[in-house]
């Protein structure tokens, strides 16, 4: 389905029949990516006595339980409830789902014993663009991200001033292909999370972070439309399915 949209007084064509899915599906078992020291997710049939809710085992339906943690087992979108005493709900605070988006690619730089992304890198990649959503693809970008065991890897992270800069550019929705915008072990500082959701002591309830996406190599850096879909969980985070659409001038 083709549609015409206008962004900054420029008209673009969008083909909604050609989605670019950035989500990593949840798979039962060890092929699934895992972070935060948890075991793999499970999807298994309900069992009551000798009855197993699987058609292949004689049931008339497949009737599965799903055991997962949104933060640890795949693509998820979170709100400020992730770091506040009151557990604010992503389902309550994400109320619109279509945004202008910019895709950028960053290579981590060495900092002490870590690898990081700096404000200077982000500013150069973002240039003068002011999208509603920013999608960060990090290098190296192998397909192993879709099944990686992230625990104890000390993945690269965004420096707090880089995250603050993204916020200052007017971005409301930040997406990245890592388990967190912060260091794996940071003693609870959560510098980037706090830089993202707090402004002068006020909470940005309408801002979100989406983690553990995968941006294929075929997706070029540049401007897109983002459809940020979430499962309707009354929780700080929910499994999500961010979809990009190419803009054609």
Question: For the chain, what are the domain ranges?
Answer: 2-24+71-248
Question: Residue 221: its pLDDT value, please?
Answer: 98
User: Selecting from 3.50.30.50, 3.90.870.10, 3.40.190.10, 3.40.50.450, what CATH number does the domain 2-24+71-248 have?
Assistant: 3.50.30.50
Using the structure block, give the residue that is written with the tokens 């890592």: 178
d(CA 206, CA 214): 23
Question: Residue 73: its pLDDT value, please?
Answer: 98
Alpha carbon distances (Å) from 188 to 72, 83, 170, 194, 211: 17, 10, 26, 11, 18
Question: Residue 7: its pLDDT value, please?
Answer: 82
Question: Residue 42: its pLDDT value, please?
Answer: 97
Question: Residue 54: its pLDDT value, please?
Answer: 98
Question: Residue 2: its pLDDT value, please?
Answer: 84
Question: Residue 3: its pLDDT value, please?
Answer: 81
Would you tell me how many other CB atoms lie within 10 Å of the CB of residue 90?
25
Alpha carbon distances (Å) from 196 to 56, 150, 204, 208: 48, 23, 8, 9
Using the structure block, give the residue that is written with the tokens 């309900």: 46
Strand 133-138 and strand 98-106: pairing? Answer: parallel
What angle (nearest 5°) sits at the alpha carbon of residue 225, between those of residues 222 and 231?
A: 125
Segments of the chain with pLDDT less than 70: none
Alpha carbon distances (Å) from 203 to 3, 85, 131, 206: 35, 13, 20, 9
pLDDT tens digits, 66-86: 999 999 999 999 999 999 999
């Amino acid at each position: 389905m083709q549609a015409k949209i206008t962004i900054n007084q420029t008209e673009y064509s969008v083909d909604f029949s050609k989605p670019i899915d950035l989500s990593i599906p949840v798979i039962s078992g060890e092929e699934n990516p895992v972070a935060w020291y948890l075991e793999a997710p499970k999807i298994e049939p309900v069992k009551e006595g000798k009855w197993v809710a699987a058609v292949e085992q004689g049931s008339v339906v497949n009737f599965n339980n799903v055991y997962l943690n949104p933060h640890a087992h795949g693509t998820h979108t979170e709100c400020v409830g992730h770091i506040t005493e009151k557990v604010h709900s992503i389902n309550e605070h994400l109320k619109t789902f279509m945004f202008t988006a910019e895709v950028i690619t960053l290579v981590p730089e060495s900092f002490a014993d870590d690898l990081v992304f700096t404000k200077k890198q982000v500013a150069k990649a973002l240039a003068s663009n002011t999208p509603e959503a920013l999608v960060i693809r990090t290098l190296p970008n192998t397909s192993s991200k879709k099944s990686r065991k992230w625990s104890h890897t000390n993945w690269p992270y965004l420096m707090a001033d880089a995250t603050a800069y993204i916020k200052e550019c007017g971005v409301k929705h930040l997406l990245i292909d890592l388990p967190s915008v912060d260091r794996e072990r940071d003693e609870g500082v959560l510098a980037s999370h706090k830089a993202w959701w707090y402004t002068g002591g006020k909470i940005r309830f309408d801002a979100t972070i989406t983690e553990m996406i995968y941006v294929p190599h075929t997706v070029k850096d540049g401007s897109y439309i983002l459809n940020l879909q979430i499962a309707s969980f009354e929780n700080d985070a929910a499994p999500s399915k961010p979809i990009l659409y190419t803009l054609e001038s």
